[in-house]
Amino acid sequence: MKKSATIAAVALSISMASTFAAVSQETPPAPIQQTTPVPVLTGMLASNPEPTLRLGGYVGVLTNEALVDITLLRPWRQDFQSGVLVDGHAIYTAYRFQSIPIDLEIEGGVAKRFGNAYTGNQWEFDLIPMARWTYFPWNDYINTNFRLGLIGASYVTGVSPFERNFDSSRHGNRFLSLLIPEITFSPSKDAPFEVFVRVHHRSGIYGAINGVHGGSNYISTGIRFTAF
């Protein structure tokens, strides 16, 4: 009887030892993987004095005034219409001069027009090269840039009655030239964002495109962020 009890105790001890050994040999849990932040999101929050790619958007209101009146002659007097332009765009810095404060950029955007039967509800697709002047004497207080694109491409999915009426030839065109003057403001040169005001101007370049002598003007404001 005692011999049987001794054998049982020894067997139980061997079984428990085997169980503890098996548990100790289990594969330890895999370490938690560290996720790498998305470069674009990281760039939008980081200081960068010389960004290569910017992403932004703006909202513009349609005006019945000519471009020269908006920018030079009577900027304080506008005849706003029931039309709004909502745009999203990207800006790539193609070349940055070292001896003069000028950057050469390429901007591409997609916009949606919201209006009535007269001002239209079309989609618009834009591509334009632009020059950015980066020096102003007050830039230590508020960083200011001036951007200008003289000849770009603008395509709309339909010509609105407003553009037909604005055109002296009264026919308009889906494809027209794009011209954009813009002023940007940011807290400093290193700031990861900038706000801006611009005029979004479509025209036929005095009849050079299908005889069109007019188009549309949207006075716009928006914000863009540095991607990288």
pLDDT of residue 49: 84
Q: How many domains does the chain have?
A: 1
Q: In this structure, is residue 12 part of a structural domain?
A: no
Q: In this structure, is residue 5 part of a structural domain?
A: no
Q: In this structure, is residue 17 part of a structural domain?
A: no
Rounded CA separation 155/173 (Å): 9
Determine phi and psi for 115, rounding to 5 degrees. Answer: -165, -155
Residue 20 scores a pLDDT above 70: no
pLDDT of residue 43: 64
pTM: 0.81
Residues pairing with 62 in the sheet: 218
Q: Are 163 and 139 in contact (CB under 8 A)?
A: no
Digit-coded pLDDT (tens) for 160-215? 999 999 988 888 999 999 999 999 999 999 999 999 999 999 999 999 999 999 89
Give the type of residue at 58: Y
Residue 32 scores a pLDDT above 70: no
Residue 103 scores a pLDDT above 50: yes
Q: How does 63-83 read in b/e, with b if 16+ C-beta sit within 10 Å? A: bebebebbeeeeeeeeeebeb
Q: In this structure, is residue 7 part of a structural domain?
A: no
The CATH number of whichever domain residue 60 belongs to comes to: 2.40.160.20
Q: In this structure, is residue 174 part of a structural domain?
A: yes
Q: In this structure, is residue 21 part of a structural domain?
A: no
Q: Which domain holds residue 202?
A: 39-226
Q: Are 82 and 115 in contact (CB under 8 A)?
A: yes
CA 175 to chain CA centroid, Å, is 23
Q: In this structure, is residue 3 part of a structural domain?
A: no
Q: In this structure, is residue 34 part of a structural domain?
A: no
pLDDT of residue 77: 87
Determine phi and psi for 58, rounding to 5 degrees. Answer: -155, 165
Digit-coded pLDDT (tens) for 116-174? 999 999 999 999 999 999 999 999 999 999 999 999 999 999 999 999 999 888 889 99
Rg of the chain over all Cα atoms, to the nearest angstrom: 31
Rounded CA separation 69/78 (Å): 9
